[in-house]
Structure 1
Amino acid sequence: MFRNTNFGKIAKILFGTIAIGAITLLIAFSTDSFSSDRCKKIEVNIKNADEQYFITNKDVENLVTKYGSEQLVGKHFEKIDLRSIEQRVLKNRQIKSCQVYKGVDGKLHVDVEQHIPIARILMSDGREDVYVDAEGSFFPLSDRYSARILLLSGEYFRNLPSLKAKRQEKNLQFIKLINEDSFLKAQFTQLDINSDGDISIVPLVGNHIIEFGEPSNIENRLNRLKIFYNQILPVKGWDSFSSVSVKYDGQIVCK
C-alpha cells in the first residue's frame, strides 16, 4: 500500500513536470513564431560599394525609414509596404536598382545597386553637370565623391535627357572604347561634341586638338591616333602641332 501511494505521487509529479515543460516549449515556439513575423533588423547591401562611393548604408537606411520617422524594426511584416520602400529608395537618382524583401532570418533586406559613371557631362544649357552610365542614363553628381573620368562638353548635349536613343549608341561605344584602352584613357581628358555630332578630343599632353569627326569607323581612327602618338610625336615633338585630324579615312592630317 505504501509503495503504490508513493508511486502515484511520483507519477503525478512527473506528469506535472512534463506538462509544464510542454507548455513552456509551446509558449517559446509561439513567441519565436510571433517574433519572426516582425522586422528584427534592417539589412542594407550595396552591391557595387567597392567601385564607387556615392552612397552609404546609412544613406539607404535613412531613405528606408524616412530619416527615422517610420519605425520598421519591431513592426509586423504584413504592415510593411515593400514596394513603397523600393520606390522611396529609388528617388535617390544615384541608385540604379533596389530590391526590398523579408528574409528567413526575420530581417528586412534592402539590396541596392549604384550607377557607375563612364563620363561626366559639362552642361552648357544652365543645367547642373551630370554623370552618364554605360546604358546612357544621366544621374547627378555627389557631394561625397567625385569620380575621375572622361569629360564631355558641347552643344550636342543641350536639353538632352539621356544618351539612350538609338542614334546615340555610337557615342556610348566611343566612350567605352576609350575607357577600356589604358593608353587612350590616360591620354584623352575631354570630348567636345558640336550640334552636328562631330567630336573634338582634348588630350592631356600637348597643345593640339584632335579632330575626330562623327563616331564612325571608330577603331580604325583610334588606331591612326595611336600611330600619331607612338611614331610621329616622338620624332616631331609634343608641341609641334596645334591640330590633328583623323576625320578622313586613311589619313592623319597634322598642322
Structure 2
Amino acid sequence: MARTKKQILISRVVGIVLVLGAFGLLLGATSTKQEKVCKAVVINIDELEKKSFVTKNEVEAILERGRGKVVGKSIGSINLRELENQLEKNDWVQRSELFFDNNQVLNVFVEQRKATARIWDKSGATFYIDSTGKKMPVKMTERSDLPVFTNVSVPLDSVQLTNIIKLSNAIVNDKFWLAQAAQIEVLKNNQYNIYPSIGSHVISFGSLDDMEDKLNRIKTFYNKVAVVKGFDAYSKIDVTYKNQVVAERFGTFQKQDSGTVAKAREPVTVKQELPAKAKPVAKAETKKAPEKMKTDAKKATASNNKKTDDKKDVKKQVAGSKKPEPSKTKKVEQKTSKQPAKPNKRNN
C-alpha cells in the first residue's frame, strides 16, 4: 500500500530529530571533555645511541614556558599545536607530537636530531651538525662518538657540507677508522689531513676523489708495514697519488706501489720488509732436497773414483821402482820407447 504524504512527512521529521539529537550529544561530550583538566604529562624521547641530548626537564620547561604548568589546566585551554612549535625550536628536536588520551593524560613524543659530525671552526667554537647542516650545541652531559673536523670555515657552503658528511659517514661505518681517525683537518681547495689516534704521523689524504680506495690503501699499509716498523716510525703517510702510499720516516723515505716498498729511495720488496713465513720456506727446502742429494752423490762418486785412480798410480810407481829381471828388461824398454815423453808433448 502506498504511503500517504502525511506519513512521509512524519518520517522525515523523525529523522531530523534523531540527527539533531545525536549532534547535540556529540557537542555535549566534546564540551565535557574540554572542561576536564589535564591530570598528568608523559614525556617520551627517542634516544640516539642511548643518549638524550634533549632531557625531560628541558621538555617540561618548554611546555610550562609563558603559561605555567600544564597539569591542572582544562584541556580546552591547552593549544597543542603551539606547544609542538615551541618544542621544535629547540636545536636538538627534529619533530614533536602531543595528544591527550581518554584518561586526560598529555602524551609528548620528541624525536631528536641525528648528528653527523662535530665541528671546530676557525674561531675556536665547537658544535655538532646534522645531514642538513643544522647546528646543535655540544653538551657536557652527553658526547657523541663522531669524527671531529677542525679549521672549518663557517657558514658551511654546500660543497664543504657535502664533503664533510661524505667523509664522516665513511669513517663512522668503519669500526677501524672510527677508532683511528681522531681529527680531520680541513685545508684549502677541499683537501684534508687526518691525524690518527695511534702513531705520531699525519695522513695527507688530499681530496675525496677515490675516497674508499685511499682508506683501504692506508689500512693495507698499516697491516703490512706499520705493524712491523711501528706506528711511531713515520712522520707522514701520503695517499694523494693514485695507487700509491708514500710514507716518510724520520730521515728516510718509503713508497708502497703495487706491493713494492722502497726504503731510502732504494727498491725493496714488502716481503723483505716482513719476517719470512715458516711454511713457504719449508716447502722450498723440501723441493730442493732431492737435487741436493743427487749433487752430493755425484760429488761422492767422483771423489771415490779419484781415490781409486790415485791408488793405481801409487802401485805403478812402486812397481816401476823395482829392478826388472834381466830377461824382461828388453821388453820394458821397448814399451817405454813407444810412448812419447810428457815434456815433449807439452812443448809440441
Question: TM (normalized to structure 2)?
Answer: 0.58
1:36: how far off?
7.7
Partner of 1:117: 115
Cα shift readout 1:67-112 (whole Å, capped 9, x = no counterpart) = 8x52322323332122221122223212222222233432222111
- Asked whether the equivalents of residues 118 and 132 of structure 1 are also in contact (C-alpha less than 8 Å), the reply is yes
Partner of 1:144: 141
Partner of 1:43: 42
- Asked whether the equivalents of residues 150 and 188 of structure 1 are also in contact (C-alpha less than 8 Å), the reply is yes
Partner of 1:79: 77
User: Do the aligned partners of residues 131 and 222 (structure 1) sit closer, same or farther apart at CA in structure 2, a change above 3 Å counting?
Assistant: same
Query: Gapped runs of 5+ residues in structure 2?
Result: 1-27, 249-348
Cα shift readout 1:41-87 (whole Å, capped 9, x = no counterpart) = 211110126622322212211111118x5232232333212222112
User: Do the aligned partners of residues 245 and 44 (structure 1) sit closer, same or farther apart at CA in structure 2, a change above 3 Å counting?
Assistant: same
Q: Does 1:176 align with 2:169?
A: yes
AA matched with 1:56: T
- Asked whether the equivalents of residues 192 and 207 of structure 2 are also in contact (C-alpha less than 8 Å), the reply is yes
Larger RCO (CA within 8 A; separation ≥ 6): 1
- Asked whether the equivalents of residues 117 and 165 of structure 2 are also in contact (C-alpha less than 8 Å), the reply is no
User: Do the aligned partners of residues 118 and 49 (structure 1) sit closer, same or farther apart at CA in structure 2, a change above 3 Å counting?
Assistant: closer
Task: Give 1 or 2: higher helix fraction.
Answer: 2
The one of 146, 153, 158 aligned to 1:158? 153
Q: Quote the Cα distance in structure 1 between the aligned partners of 2:88 and 2:60.
A: 12
- Percent sequence identity is 27
2:90 counterpart SS class: coil
User: Do the aligned partners of residues 35 and 137 (structure 1) sit closer, same or farther apart at CA in structure 2, a change above 3 Å counting?
Assistant: closer
More moved, 110-119 vs 188-197:
110-119
Query: Gapped runs of 5+ residues in structure 1?
Result: 1-28
The one of 101, 105, 110 aligned to 1:107? 105
Partner of 2:209: 216
User: Do the aligned partners of residues 81 and 195 (structure 1) sit closer, same or farther apart at CA in structure 2, a change above 3 Å counting?
Assistant: farther
1:71 counterpart SS class: coil
Q: Quote the Cα distance in structure 1 between the aligned partners of 2:184 and 2:106.
A: 44
Question: TM (normalized to structure 1)?
Answer: 0.77
Cα shift readout 1:114-146 (whole Å, capped 9, x = no counterpart) = 2233322112225x3101234432211114223
Q: Quote the Cα distance in structure 2 between the aligned partners of 1:83 and 1:219.
A: 45
- Asked whether the equivalents of residues 203 and 237 of structure 2 are also in contact (C-alpha less than 8 Å), the reply is yes
User: Do the aligned partners of residues 215 and 63 (structure 1) sit closer, same or farther apart at CA in structure 2, a change above 3 Å counting?
Assistant: same
1:193: how far off?
0.6
- Asked whether the equivalents of residues 36 and 106 of structure 1 are also in contact (C-alpha less than 8 Å), the reply is no
- Asked whether the equivalents of residues 148 and 184 of structure 2 are also in contact (C-alpha less than 8 Å), the reply is yes
Q: Quote the Cα distance in structure 2 between the aligned partners of 1:142 and 1:151.
A: 15
Give RMSD over aligned pairs: 2.7
